[in-house]
Amino acid sequence: MRFHSPQKLKTIADLVGAKFIGPEDFEVLGTNEIHMVQQGEIVFVNHPKYYDKALNSAATIILIDKEVECPEGKALLVSEDPFRDFNRINTHFTRIYNFTEELHDVEIGEGTKIHHSAVIGNNVKIGKNTLIFPNVVIGDRTEIGDHVIIQSGTVLGGDAFYYRKLNGNFDRLISVGNVVIENNVEIGNNCTIDRGVTASTVIGEGSVLDNQIQIGHDTVIGKKCLIASQVGIAGCCVIGDEVTLWGQVGIASGNKIEGGSVILGKTGVNRDLEKGTYIGMFAEDFKTYLKKEVKLRNLK
């Protein structure tokens, strides 16, 4: 999430009551998760296991729960609870409405048709010649391109499934990102596409989604992908162009699938995959799987 205008390190520290290490006028441009963070942005870390990863990431400002040596050219925000203060920063600069106020500010392109039962949040952009079916829900800040079809019951821009356990309860990391649907995308009935925590969940141009598909926060789907019913994709995944995911495929968080791959039905993806065809609980190469099956059947 980029701020509307650059902020100073001291301003952010004062906002959350954190100690800062670095020049007080050190420029802060926004916040982001570690897998997408860029120069000028804040990333948070609250476990020693991930200190090095955060400190050596592209982040320029590290919101951390312990004072450590600050890398050259970077700054620290030392907080007793970085998770909490990350939420505080994000919600200070991005207001969360959750359909409680109808401010709208919606841009709708020429030739677009939206059923009267659809619910549209604030700061939404919808392109030309797009068709929105009954009972679709479009959350705040969603961007939809031209010639898009979104069928009944689909929800774009729900909260990310991102929690920590705190005092025996689940504490949510608040989502201030959005969903971006590029041109010529078709989305079936009862799909759910969560908005990014701090960035965008993206469905690439020309991709087609069947019914009852779940796509997690900050996942990026490439161009001209084909995704069958009941596929579940966790957050922070990257799916290349022209990938086919058949029914009930499940993809664990943070994995990448190279463009042109085919993932056969009920396959589980728990690691990055190079271009190929895969099947099985742990995404085995399809030809290798067939050879193994022949050998097993020929055992006496």
Architecture of domain 2-93 in this structure:
3-Layer(aba) Sandwich (3.40)
Could you tell me the two tokens for 5? 């205008």
CATH of 106-278, one of 1.10.150.20, 2.160.10.10, 3.40.630.30, 3.30.70.260: 2.160.10.10
- Go through the chain and tell me how many residues it has: 300
Tell me: the pLDDT tens digits for 23-42? 999 999 999 999 889 999 99
CA 184, CA 206: separation in Å to the nearest integer?
5
CA 233, CA 72: separation in Å to the nearest integer?
37
Identical topology for domains 2-93 and 106-278: no
Other residues' Cβ atoms within 10 Å of the Cβ of residue 184: 18
Question: Mean pLDDT throughout 245-251?
Answer: 98
Look up residue 258 and give its amino acid.
E
Tell me: the pLDDT tens digits for 206-232? 999 999 999 999 999 999 999 999 999
Tell me: the pLDDT tens digits for 93-139? 998 988 888 778 899 999 999 999 999 999 999 999 999 999 999 99
Full-model pTM: 0.94
Output the CA torsion sign for 37, 28, 123, 90. Answer: positive
Catalytically active residues, by annotation: 217
pLDDT at 300: 61
**Domain ranges, ordered by start, for the chain:** 2-93, 106-278
CA 95, CA 248: separation in Å to the nearest integer?
36
Is residue 244 within 8 A of residue 262, CB to CB? The reply is yes
